[in-house]
Chains A and B, each alone.
Chain A
Amino acid sequence: GENVEQHPSTLSVQEGDSAVIKCTYSDSASNYFPWYKQELGKRPQLIIDIRSNVGEKKDQRIAVTLNKTAKHFSLHITETQPEDSAVYFCAAWQGGKLIFGQGTELSVKP
């Protein structure tokens, strides 16, 4: 079935360290993989996305990598800052729908 697994569910890092969140998907035909950030009490907002014809994409301190063979993709945040603290969701376009992972609560300690 359509499934996106996300790990870890919680992640705590020191300010300035890197954070990595990993997701796996089930449908080999998936072609679009966005990442959303949701601050407490607010709506999810897109931070970066990648399509299946690209292996890596960067935007300042954020990068996403995609391994189509293994059906997994990852979010990398470098030089973390306290304002990066939030819940992050991966998603994969599968079966004509966007399927979300369960979320990772990232805490950046000053």
Chain B
Amino acid sequence: NAGVTQTPKFQVLKTGQSMTLQCAQDMNHNSMYWYRQDPGMGLRLIYYSASEGTTDKGEVPNGYNVSRLNKREFSLRLESAAPSQTSVYFCASSANRDNEQFFGPGTRLTVL
């Protein structure tokens, strides 16, 4: 069991470039999440997918889009990257909504 995996681990973008962060889980979980982590601000929810086929906005959705490709995969897209999106991005999954969330290893993104 790999748990939750994320690619890439590191990425540097220029302002205005686009990219997609990939996340996959092999635990047959229904719910998946994308968070960003900035110093002193904890983990803030960007988007989540309570079940396959559904997605909802979290606390900080502006500038991002998501796709729940199937039960295993949940991707995060930055259409036009901005320096304010420099952060560490974590994907997580849980069996159901108010259950333990398992986190991926994170993606460190820098936008110049």
List the interface of chain A (C-beta within 8 A of B): 2, 6, 9, 31-32, 34, 42-46, 49, 89, 93, 96-103
Contact residues in B for A100 (Cβ distance below 8 Å) = 42-44
CB-based A-B contact count at 8 angstroms: 47
Residue of B nearest to A42 (CB): B105
Contact B98 A102 (CB under 8 A): no
Q: Is the CB of B42 within 8 A of A101?
A: yes
Bound form: Cα–Cα A97–B46 in Å: 11
Q: Which 5 A-B pairs rank lowest in CB-CB distance, beginning with the nearest?
A: A43-B103, A100-B42, A32-B98, A100-B43, A102-B42
Within 8 Å by CB of B40, from A45, A49, A98, A102, lies: A102
Residue numbers in B under 8 Å from A46 (CB-CB): 100-102
> Does B104 lie within 8 Å of A43, measured CB to CB?
yes
Given contacts A44-B90, A97-B58, are A49 and B100 in contact (CB under 8 A)?
yes
Select one of B41, B48, B97, B103 contacting A102, CB under 8 A.
Answer: B41
Closest to B35 in A: A100
Let me know if B100 and A34 touch, CB within 8 A: yes
B97 touches which of A9, A44, A96, A99 (Cβ 8 Å) = A96
C-alpha gap A34/B73 in the complex (Å) = 24
Q: Which of B95-112 contact A (CB under 8 A)?
A: 97-98, 100-106
The complex places the Cα of A96 from the Cα of B104 at a distance, in Å, of 21
B5 to chain A, nearest CB (A): 11
Complex CA gap A55/B103 in Å reads 27
A residues in contact with B43, CB < 8 Å: 44, 89, 100
Chain B residues positioned under 8 Å from A93 (CB to CB): 97-98
